[in-house]
Structure 1
Amino acid sequence: MTETIQINSLDGSGGFDAYAAGPTPARAGVIVIQEIFGINPGIQQMVDRWGALGYRAVAPDLFWRLEPGVSLDADTPDDLQRAFDLYGRFDVDLGITDIAATIKALRDAGCEKVGVVGYCLGALLAYLTACRADSDASVGYYGVGIDGRLEEADAIAQPLMLHIATEDGFVSKEAQAAVHARLNAHPRCTLHDYAADHAFARAIGSSRVPDLAELADRRTAAFFRDNL
């Protein structure tokens, strides 16, 4: 069963919706962190999948401070432009506080452990959640901008897995090399490379590469089984 739940922000500025699936109470929760396209059908499909595996799964609407209820199609030019506009106005630091609020909400609902998994912008947020918040395990797919935040890596205390697209049109080879150089030897970090472009593991759409997406998703599922 799926539903929309309400989560209270930690800064007292209001509440925001989250698409939710799976049992409640559940022993463990998974937070799916959106791309720049909002809580669209692809993100909902990912939440449904984690819910079917027995996790309490939620996708918080992180654009709520800009425009609640965004759901865009990456393959539609007008939607793509709108998504980049939202991305340019998005406050990453507030996004992390809203993810922290979502972690708290899942724990308050009975989850003993909570993991996060994010895509593109969501992968940067998953990385920063590992650095700043109290997720029990974090996963990022083809994160954009992680190389500019590597000074925070010393704060990573719980397991982090990153899936890196080596042909990523939004992340240069130099940026990828910097991420590897800083995180390969980190005792809490596991990095995997895939010979693919950005968004290869999107649930639906033209960018999806099924065999690589399925490989990455199997690794993520095993990672959560081991750590949640």
Structure 2
Amino acid sequence: MSQMITIDTLGDDRQFAAYCAAPEGAPRAAIIVIQEIFGVNAGIRRKCDRLAAQGYLAIAPDLFWRLEPGITLDPDVPAEFQRALGLMGDFDQDLGVRDIEATIRAARTQIGGGKVGLVGYCLGGRLAFMAATRTDTDASVGYYGVGIDGLLGEKHAIAHPVLLHIPQDDHFVDAAAQQRMHDGLDEHPKVTLFDYPGEDHGFATEMGARRSEAAATLADQRTADFFARTIG
């Protein structure tokens, strides 16, 4: 079952919307699905639905609500892709992490205090790493997060397991940035990195031209195994 819900912000009386997909029975845990720069679009909603089918309560918060509530964009439409880049430039990532923290709290309440994981894509992959260092999430997964090499100064704050998927031909994250990620994180006891040779940014999208079926299937299975180990 899926529906739109509202999440209370931290520190004031405002609310923002989130897509919520629930399993048929009692949830084994909750997973927050963090959007790309295209909003909580059909692909992100499908991610939630897939996680619900695996037994998780899945919630995708609308992190662009301060800019334009409810926006959904198609990355395969050039004009919408450019609009998404503009939204990314205007987006306050620190406030985004606070909204993720608010969503974590709401999810914990819904599942009676159980474990909550995060999975994010593109912008969401970066935010998943930031949330791993700034919130009490129990496990975090980032797909093709941009600029993580610039966040390594926060790695000391990672207390729970983190998994990062790195496409080696990512045109937003060059080889030098990928190497810095490995240099900074390979020895971290809580972090696992997987490389995907020949794959580009967005390879695990649910639909559209960017999807690479074999690599997406492999990465998603690794994510499923990771969450089964870390949050149940």
Give unpaired runs (5+ residues) of structure 1. none
Q: For this pair of structures, how many residues does the alignment match?
A: 228
Q: Distance in 2 between matches of 1:89 and 1:199?
A: 21
From 201, 208, 224, the equivalent of 2:204 is 201
After superposing the two structures, state which structure 1 stretch, 104-113 or 126-135, moved more: 104-113
Distance in structure 1 (CA, Å) of the matches to 2:104 and 2:27: 13
Separation in 1, partners of 2:124, 2:54: 21
Structure 1's 98 and 126: CA in aligned 2 closer, same or farther, altered over 3 A?
Answer: same
In the alignment, what sits opposite 1:68? 69
Pairs within 5 Å for 1:1-228: 1-12=1-12, 14-23=14-23, 26-109=27-110, 110-195=112-197, 196-228=199-231
Whether the 8 Å CA contact 1:16–1:64 is kept in 2: the answer is yes
Percent identity, aligned pairs only, is 55
CA deviation digits over 1:152-195, x for unaligned, max 9?
00100000000001000000111100000000000000000002
- SS, match of residue 186 in structure 1: coil
State whether residues 27 and 111 of structure 1, in contact with CA within 8 Å, keep that contact through their aligned partners in structure 2. Answer: no
Distance 2:28 2:205 in 1: 27
| 8 Å CA contact retained: 1:32, 1:118 | yes
- Kindly provide the amino acid, as one letter, of the partner of residue 82 in structure 1: R
CA distance in 1, matches of 2:80, 2:58: 26
SS at match of 1:218: helix
Counterpart CA distance in 2 for 1:218 and 1:27 is 17
- TM-score relative to the length of structure 2: 0.96
- Which residue identity is paired with 1:210? E
| Stretches (4+) displaced over 6 A | none
Q: Distance in 2 between the 1:111 and 1:202 partners?
A: 30
Distance 2:68 2:11 in 1: 18
* 1:158 partner SS: coil
1:45 partner amino acid: R
Q: Which whole-Å deviations, capped at 9, do the CAs of 1:122-148 have from their partners, x for residues lacking one? A: 000000010110110000000001111
8 A Cα contact 1:28 1:111, kept in partner = no
Post-superposition Cα deviations, 1:54-101, rounded to whole Å, max 9, x if no partner, equal 111010000001100010000001100110010000000000000000
Task: Please give the alpha-carbon distance, in whole angstroms, between the structure 1 residues aligned to 2:113 and 2:27.
Answer: 6
Q: Which amino acid aligns with 2:115?
A: K
TM-superposed CA distance for 1:111, in Å, is 4.7
The answer to whether the 8 A contact 1:26-1:111 is kept is no
CA distance in 2, matches of 1:7, 1:121: 20
